[in-house]
Amino acid sequence: MRYEWKSKPLGDVTSFLNGLWKGEKPPFVTVGVIRNTNFAKDGSIDDSDIAWLDVEAKKFEKRKLKFGDIILEKSGGGPKQPVGRVALFEKEEGDYSFSNFTSAIRVDDPQELDFRFLHKFLFWKYASGVTESMQSHSTGIRNLNADAYKEIAVPLPPLAEQQRIVAILDEALAGLATAAANAEKNLKNARELFEVVLYAALKGEVASDDSVQPEPSGNPTEERCAIKRMEIPFAIPANWRWCRFGSVVKFLNGDRGKNYPNKHEYVPVGMPWINTGHIEEDGNLDTQSMNFITRKKFDSLNGGKIQLGDLVYCLRGATIGKTAFVEPYSEGAVASSLMIVRPGPAIDRRYAYYFLVSRLGRQLIKRFDNGAAQPNLAGASVAKYVTPLPPLEIQKAIVQALDALVERRKSLEAIYYKRLEAVKDLKKSILQNAFSGALTSSPSHAAKEAAE
């Protein structure tokens, strides 16, 4: 911070307001309540799903948000998202308040401190990791140490200088937001392209080798007529066939009996004990977080033991349908939330994997899950899945083409992730310069370069 700038603790220049619980005593008033889920990445408020609640009129009087209030997340967060996020309230009309998991910060003297300057300063403090050391844990929820937060030293350059800094940051951060949006769009496009090609491959429309590419035909077999009644939305080539997934793979459930391992039985080194949290998006297992059980415990299990060549498939919850190869493990066991899929000689195991993670595989989940709030599948249901099955040599050709596309996608994703990290670092650098007094001119050129 520049030597001529003075500073004051945050608590000395602002007032903190506690959040609102849903009321029980009338009279009530209907109010839009800002929650943690309404905090956008850029420090603004996403009002697409604001909760409208009937709250006590008396309590609302002291908790009505005003234009320029800063909403602070004081409880919540997660392993990769500390508490302490801030969002700026910029609505001039309507009745709005904020949840009990948040606080509102209100500038005491607008002639001393510009609320937009303060918002960007607090946003920078969070992005720099300052609040991570101020959080505590209580029953799995992270809570911000309010006393420590109020001691943050806020720089107080002259008001005109604050407003100049805000104007420069608005321009620079808008450019960086465009750069981040472009990189995220490219990431999405790369993934969507793979989804399209994968779906086309299962329809016989992707040729990796002309010598094995079948000619399309509209002659349905009796089996395909049954599939058609299930509304599978495409035909397949003449030398392919539709088959039940259970006819070409074997399923093994995890042990659900009295010998099921508990967390206190995990050991640092031993036999892998695989659960849904170990399945990564790219079909690999997260070996860094793997749990292990003793050989004695493993030998006591009645089922769910893997072998090389197997796949593991998630049967329930938010991760339903996630699939991974068991490598690098040749031995181990799976939790009851997973099922082992063991391909037979008629189906290439990577073809089976691509089928399960494809759009078709996800559509089949919706046909067979129990429809409850916590989706759930049984092995017998997965066995009823229907898959287009080309001859084995064509399966291998399709897999080869898809594997090459996956590598290309990963290469592009690495570029886009690197660009996102560069944008994030540049954003931190610009903010640090701004609040140390080193931002003498607009960094718009750097922001423009990042956006291209």
CA distance 437 to 208: 59
SS (H, E, C) 172-190: HHHHHHHHHHHHHHHHHHH
Which two structure tokens, joined as six digits, stand for 36? 């943690």
Q: How far apart are CA 347 and CA 153, in angstroms?
A: 64
Q: Is 293 within the bounds of a domain? A: yes
Is 135 found in the same domain as 10? yes
Which of 367, 389, 411 is a domain's end point? Answer: 389
Residues 311 and 227 in one domain: yes
Q: What sign has the CA pseudo-torsion 162, 91, 106, 130?
A: negative
State residue 250's pLDDT score: 95
Cβ atoms of residues 220 and 241 within 8 Å: no
Peptide bond into 268 cis (omega under 30): no
Are the beta carbons of 262 and 336 closer than 8 angstroms?
no
Q: Is residue 175 part of a domain?
A: no
| Residues 124 and 249 occupy one common structural domain | no
Cβ contacts of residue 364 below 8 Å, gap of 6+?
385, 386
Distances (CA, A) of 315 to 75, 243, 254, 348: 32, 21, 11, 22
- Domain shared by 232 and 366, yes or no: yes
Report yes or no on 423 lying in a domain. Answer: no
- Position 208 in a domain: no
What is the pLDDT tens value at each position of the chain, 452 positions in all?
A: 666 789 999 999 999 999 887 667 888 899 999 999 999 988 999 988 899 988 888 889 889 999 999 999 999 877 778 899 999 999 999 999 999 999 999 999 999 999 999 999 999 999 999 999 898 865 568 899 999 999 999 999 999 999 999 999 998 888 888 888 888 898 888 888 888 888 888 888 754 333 333 333 333 343 444 444 444 556 788 889 888 999 999 999 888 788 899 889 999 999 999 999 999 988 999 999 999 999 999 999 988 999 999 999 999 888 899 999 999 999 999 998 899 999 999 999 999 999 999 988 888 888 877 666 677 888 888 999 989 999 999 999 999 999 999 999 889 889 999 989 998 889 888 898 889 887 766 655 555 545 45
- Tell me if 441 is assigned to some domain: no
In SS3 terms, the chain reads as CCCCCEEEEHHHHEEEEECECCCCCCCEEEEEEECHHHECCCCCECHHHCEEEEEEHHHHHCCCCCCCCEEEECEECECCECCCCEEECCCCCCCEEEECCEEEEEECCCCCCCHHHHHHHHHHHHHCCHHHHHEEEECCEEEECHHHHHCCEEEECCHHHHHHHHHHHHHHHHHHHHHHHHHHHHHHHHHHHHHHHHHHHHCCCCCCCHHHCCCECCCCCHHHHHHHHCCCCCCCECCCEEEEHHHCEEEEECCCCCCCCCHHHCCCCCEEEECHHHECCCCCECHHHCEEECHHHHHHCCCCECCCCCEEEECEHHHCCCEEECCCCCCCEECCCEEEEEECCCCCHHHHHHHHHCHHHHHHHHHHCCCCCCCECCHHHHHCCEEEECCHHHHHHHHHHHHHHHHHHHHHHHHHHHHHHHHHHHHHHHHHHHHHCCCCCCCHHHHHHHHC
Do 15 and 148 have their domain in common?
yes
Give the pLDDT score at 77. 77
Same domain, 152 and 220: no
Q: Is residue 332 part of a domain?
A: yes
Query: Domain check: are 136 and 224 in the same one?
Result: no
Please check whether residue 249 lies inside any domain of the structure.
Answer: yes
Domain that holds residue 345: 215-389
Among the three residues 340, 369, 389, which one is the final residue of a domain in this structure?
Answer: 389
- In terms of domains, do 219 and 297 share one? yes
| CATH of residue 68 | 3.90.220.20
What pLDDT does residue 223 have? 41
Same domain, 149 and 35: yes
Rounded to whole angstroms, the Cα distance separating 287 from 327 reads 10
Distance from C-alpha of 168 to C-alpha of 147, rounded to nearest angstrom: 31
Verify that 13 and 143 share a domain, yes or no.
yes
**Cα separations in angstroms, 351 against 354, 361, 383, 410:** 5, 12, 16, 19
Same domain, 74 and 152: yes
Report how many domains make up the chain. 2
Pull the structure tokens for residue 86.
């801030």
Residue where one domain finishes, among candidates 137, 157, 177 = 157
Q: Which residues contact 145 (CB under 8 A, 6 or more apart)?
A: 134, 135, 136
Tokens 């423009």, residue located? 448
* Per-residue pLDDT at 102: 95
Residues 346 and 277 occupy one common structural domain: yes
Residue 431 inside a domain? The answer is no
